[in-house]
Structure 1
Amino acid sequence: MRPTVTLKLATSLDGRIATASGESRWITGEPARLQGHRLRAAHDAILVGVETVLADDPELTARLPGRTVDQPLRVVLDSRLRTPPSSKVAGENTLILTAAEPVAVGAAEVRQVAAEHGRPTIPAVLAALADFGVRSLLIEGGGQVAASFLRAGAVDRIEWLRAPILLGDEGRPGVAGLPLLKLSDAPTFRRLAVEPLGDDLWERYEKRQ
């Protein structure tokens, strides 16, 4: 059985995760960022694309004040193995899934999976994670990764942290292109809750069956 997939978005009101120059720290406020760490702690694995690693060098760990938590598996989608061995994720408790022939990347585990057009397929990614015992997966970015899971119909839930700012269409979208010709083809979700977190909003959705 594949993992349950949750897409976490931290965006402006108009769905942007960064300015045109790539500046993204911090769009949301501290309460929303703390909630993001709670979401990490509640999942078996966190997944990002290599572009996020190259742009932000994230730790991808759950950090909660006064609490020691079991750290989720860190997963990087990296079609051509561009993850720097010096990056924070290139250590233990990291799985890099690639379309390329595996080579060593720091202390991370590297696994080649089935690919199309040079990119790992989402079913192959989910199957590999299931082999690692992952039952719940949190996707944290960026826009291309979010769109690929949505196009595959693999997003079960959305946790959306939305800040009261506008970045315009020059900003980088939280979800990249979904080549839809009809509204009926759009991924559709049911809103579960809306809650204020400081100046931000935390919106929760689940996939309509």
Structure 2
Amino acid sequence: MKRPLVTLKLATSLDGKIALANGQSEWITGEAARRQGRLLRAEHDAIAVGSNTAVLDNPQLTTRLEGRKNPHRVIFDSQVRLSPESNLAQTARTNPVTVFCSEGAETTVSAMALKSLHVQVLPVAKSEAGLDVKLALSLLKNLGLQTVLLEGGGTLAASFIRHNLVDTIEWFRAPVVLGAEGRPAIGNLALEHISNIYRFDRIDVQEIGVDIWERYQVKPNI
């Protein structure tokens, strides 16, 4: 395979939401599910999020597990909104960070500030559908990264699904409901006919604390 294997990790309400309309999201799932999510990070070479997650949540994207490796952090950030003061940028010297941006954005003042902190900023083509995630994955493979855990948000998840780049799904579902105004785990897929829906095979389901953990693999074309 010319790209890393991609696992989409979801932590949602029963109705598939990841946050309230105002962005509040802590904590939808329970501690047991969150710990398993940290273990998933340790099992993957890289973890990827979109710019909203990186900017609004200011995450570290580490495992926070003693004795376990941290993944290479990857941000899809077309306009290089990530702050040099962010947790990601400030720890890039010891835990690598790669930012994928639109062509030309790699020379902006913000991009140069990130580069001075050892953040790798790589331009890829951009269309109405967003950044070229296929090319980004190819570049990650060239960096020696074999597996990617895709954590958020909904727009980035939709982009990967639309390009058939999601191999497995790890879905942690909490016993709560956020309603139609909540932010969806998966954004617009531009589907116009039911025959075009994306299908996955469920390979496991189990209780994890108060939540349900479902695992899926992409359904092969027959």
TM range (shorter): over 0.9
2:174 touches 2:211 (CA, 8 Å); kept in 1? Answer: yes
Please tell me whether residue 176 in structure 1 is matched to residue 219 in structure 2: no
2:129 touches 2:159 (CA, 8 Å); kept in 1? Answer: no
Equivalent residue, structure 2, for 1:61: 62
User: What TM-score do you get using the length of structure 1 for normalisation?
Assistant: 0.96
Please tell me whether residue 77 in structure 1 is matched to residue 54 in structure 2: no
Equivalent residue, structure 1, for 2:22: 21
Moved over 3 A (4+): none
What are the equivalent positions in structure 2 for 1:1-209 lying under 5 Å apart?
A: 1-64=2-65, 67-90=66-89, 91-92=92-93, 93-101=96-104, 102=106, 103-104=111-112, 105=114, 106-117=117-128, 119-209=130-220
Following the alignment from structure 1 to structure 2, what is the Cα–Cα distance between the partners of residues 155 and 193?
17
Task: Report the Cα offset of residue 115 of structure 1.
Answer: 2.4
**Structure 2, unaligned runs of 5 or more:** none
Cα deviation per residue 1:13-38 (whole Å; 9 max; x = unaligned)?
Answer: 00000011111010000000000000
The number of equivalent residue pairs is 207
Query: RMSD in angstroms over aligned alpha carbons?
Result: 1.2
1:147 touches 1:175 (CA, 8 Å); kept in 2? Answer: yes
Following the alignment from structure 1 to structure 2, what is the Cα–Cα distance between the partners of residues 96 and 181?
32
Identical pairs, percent: 45
Following the alignment from structure 2 to structure 1, what is the Cα–Cα distance between the partners of residues 128 and 188?
17
User: What TM-score do you get using the length of structure 2 for normalisation?
Assistant: 0.90
Following the alignment from structure 1 to structure 2, what is the Cα–Cα distance between the partners of residues 22 and 56?
9
Distance 1:30 1:41, change over 3 A: same
**Structure 1, unaligned runs of 5 or more:** none
Q: What residue identity is the alignment partner of 1:96?
A: V
Following the alignment from structure 1 to structure 2, what is the Cα–Cα distance between the partners of residues 198 and 71?
24
